[in-house]
C-alpha cells in the first residue's frame, strides 16, 4: 500500500531528518510543522503545498525556513508533531494521501516513543 | 487575631468533614496538570506521566494551573495504550473542563484513532451544543453511540465545568454526569472496545482529524471502578473541586 508514495518521499524524509537534527542542536526541540496541504494529496500526484506558509501560533517558524530544499511539489500532505515526554524528545512525520475515496495515513516516529509509528492505514473521516 | 485564626481553622475542618471521603482504591492515575510545559506528571502511584505533544500551554485552573490547549496547533497530552486505560473493567473518568469558545466540536480526552481503533471519546459537539461521551466501535463498523449530556443542557463557555464519565462493565453502558447532576445513560449494551489507540487529553489520536480543544482541562482522574454518589459529590465540592489526594 502506498509504496509509490514511500519512494517519492524518500529524499524529502532524508532531508527532514538532517534538518531536524540541526534544528534540535540549536533549539533543544524539534520543528513542528502544520499540514502542508489543505486536502491530502492524490497518491502518486505530487502537488504544490497550499498551506506551507502556516505555522503554529506559539511557534512562529515556517516550513521553508527550516527546509529550503524541500521539493516544490510534494507527494503527500505532510505534518510534523513534536513531542516532549518522560522518555525524552522526538518528532513524528505524518503523511496522508488520497486513494479514490479513501484517505491513507502513515506516521514515522523519530525518538523514544516507538508506539507512535504506524505503516500505511486507511483512516475514516 | 490568633483566636480568629483558630476559629477559621476549626470551621474549615468541620466543612471538609461534611464531605464523604474519596477512596483511592483502584485509582489508576491523577493528573493535577499544574506543570507549565513538558511532561505532565501522574500524582498517583502508577507513573502514568503524560507526554506533551506540540507544546501544550498552561493557564489558571480550577485547582492551581490547568493544561491549556490550542486546537489549530494540534496540541495534546498523551500516553501509550495500556490495560489500565482500556475499557476492560468498570471505569470512571473525572475532570474539570473549560471551553474558550463553542465554534467547533472539541475533544477533552479520548482513546480514538480512526485508522486504528475508536474506543472512547469525551467531547463538546457543536451541532447539538452538548457534551458527548462516545462509545466507539473500534472502527469496525459496529454500533457507535453518543451519550448526550442533555440533563445539563448547553454548556457555557469560559466557565469551569465538572464532568464524570463512566463505563459499567456489568450492564456495558456509558454514562455521563455534569456538575454532579443526574446521569444521562446510553442504551448500547455491547462490550466496550478494547484497542491500541493512544490516550490523549485535548485531542484525538486520529492524524489529520484530531478535533482538538481550544480550552483547558484540569485535575483529571481515572478509576478502575465506579465511584459512589457521595464520592462524586465530594469531588465536585459544591463547585469548588477537591484536590488530590482528596
CA neighbours closer than 13 Å in the CB half-sphere of residue B117: 14
pLDDT at B11 over 50: no
Mean pLDDT, chain B, whole residue set = 93
What nine digits make up the cell of A29?
526541540
Give the closest-approach CA distance of B156 to chain A in angstroms. 25
Three-state DSSP class for residue B208 = coil
Tell me the chain A residues in contact with residue B49 when contact means C-beta distances shorter than 8 Å: 85-86
Low-confidence spans in chain A with pLDDT less than 50: none
Task: Give tens-digit pLDDT for B41-90.
Answer: 999 999 999 999 999 999 999 999 999 999 999 999 999 999 999 999 99
Task: Give tens-digit pLDDT for B156-182.
Answer: 999 999 999 999 999 999 999 999 999
For residue B86, give the DSSP letter.
Answer: S
ipTM: 0.96
Give the closest-approach CA distance of B11 to chain A in angstroms. 41
pTM: 0.94
Tell me the chain A residues in contact with residue B72 when contact means C-beta distances shorter than 8 Å: 34, 56-57
Total Cβ atoms within 10 A of residue B134: 24
Task: Give tens-digit pLDDT for A2-18.
Answer: 788 999 889 889 999 99
pLDDT at B223 over 90: yes
- Number of inter-chain CB pairs under 8 A, A vs B: 85
Give Cβ neighbours of residue B168 (< 8 Å, ≥ 6 apart). B90, B175, B226
pLDDT at B10 over 90: no
pLDDT at B4 over 70: no
Taking the Cβ of residue B53 and every Cβ of chain A, the question of whether any pair is shorter than 8 Å is answered with: yes
CB contact under 8 A, B52 and A85: yes
Q: How confident is the model at residue B6 (pLDDT cuts 50, 70, 90)?
A: low
pLDDT > 70 in chain B, percent: 93
Chosen from B49, B115, B195 to mutate, greatest number of chain A CBs within 10 A: B115
DSSP of B140-159: TTS--EEEE-TTT-SPPSSS
Is the alpha carbon torsion for B169, B174, B180, B184 positive or negative?
negative
pLDDT at B17 over 70: no
Alpha-carbon gap, residue A62 to A52, rounded angstroms: 7
Q: In terms of pLDDT, which residue wins out, B222 or B12?
A: B222
Alpha-carbon gap, residue A96 to A104, rounded angstroms: 6
Amino acid at each position: 500500500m502506498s509504496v509509490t508514495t514511500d519512494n517519492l518521499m524518500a529524499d524529502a524524509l532524508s532531508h527532514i531528518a538532517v534538518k531536524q537534527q540541526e534544528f534540535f542542536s540549536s533549539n533543544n526541540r524539534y520543528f513542528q510543522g502544520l499540514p502542508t496541504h489543505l486536502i491530502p494529496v492524490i497518491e502518486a500526484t505530487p502537488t504544490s503545498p497550499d498551506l506551507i506558509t502556516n505555522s503554529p501560533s506559539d511557534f512562529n517558524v515556517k516550513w521553508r525556513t527550516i527546509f529550503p530544499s524541500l521539493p516544490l511539489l510534494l507527494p503527500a500532505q505532510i505534518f510534523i508533531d513534536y513531542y516532549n515526554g518522560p522518555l525524552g524528545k522526538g518528532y513524528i512525520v505524518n503523511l496522508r494521501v488520497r486513494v479514490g475515496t479513501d484517505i491513507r495515513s502513515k506516521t514515522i516516529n523519530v525518538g523514544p516513543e516507538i508506539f507512535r509509528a504506524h505503516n500505511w492505514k486507511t483512516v475514516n473521516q | 487575631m490568633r483566636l480568629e485564626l483558630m476559629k477559621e481553622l476549626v470551621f474549615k475542618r468541620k466543612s471538609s468533614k461534611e464531605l464523604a471521603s474519596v477512596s483511592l482504591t483502584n485509582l489508576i492515575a491523577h493528573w493535577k496538570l499544574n506543570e507549565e510545559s513538558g511532561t505532565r506528571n501522574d500524582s498517583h502511584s502508577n507513573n502514568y506521566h503524560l507526554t506533551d505533544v506540540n507544546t501544550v500551554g498552561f493557564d489558571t485552573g480550577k485547582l492551581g494551573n490547568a493544561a491549556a490547549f490550542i486546537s489549530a496547533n494540534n496540541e495534546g497530552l498523551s500516553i501509550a495504550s495500556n490495560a489500565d486505560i482500556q475499557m476492560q473493567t468498570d471505569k470512571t473518568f473525572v475532570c474539570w473542563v473549560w471551553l474558550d469558545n463553542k465554534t467547533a466540536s472539541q475533544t477533552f480526552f479520548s482513546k480514538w484513532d480512526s485508522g486504528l481503533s475508536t474506543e472512547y471519546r469525551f467531547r463538546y459537539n457543536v451541532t447539538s451544543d452538548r457534551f458527548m461521551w462516545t462509545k466507539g466501535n473500534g472502527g469496525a463498523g459496529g454500533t457507535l453511540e453518543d451519550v448526550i449530556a442533555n440533563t445539563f443542557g448547553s454548556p457555557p463557555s469560559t466557565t469551569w465545568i465538572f464532568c464524570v464519565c463512566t463505563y459499567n462493565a456489568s450492564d456495558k453502558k456509558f454514562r455521563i454526569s455534569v456538575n454532579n447532576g443526574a446521569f444521562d445513560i446510553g442504551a448500547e449494551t455491547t462490550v466496550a472496545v478494547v484497542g491500541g489507540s493512544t490516550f490523549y487529553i485535548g485531542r484525538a489520536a486520529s492524524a489529520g482529524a484530531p478535533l482538538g480543544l481550544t480550552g483547558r482541562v484540569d485535575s483529571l482522574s481515572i478509576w478502575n471502578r465506579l465511584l459512589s454518589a457521595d464520592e462524586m459529590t465530594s469531588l465536585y465540592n459544591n463547585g469548588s473541586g477537591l484536590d488530590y489526594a482528596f
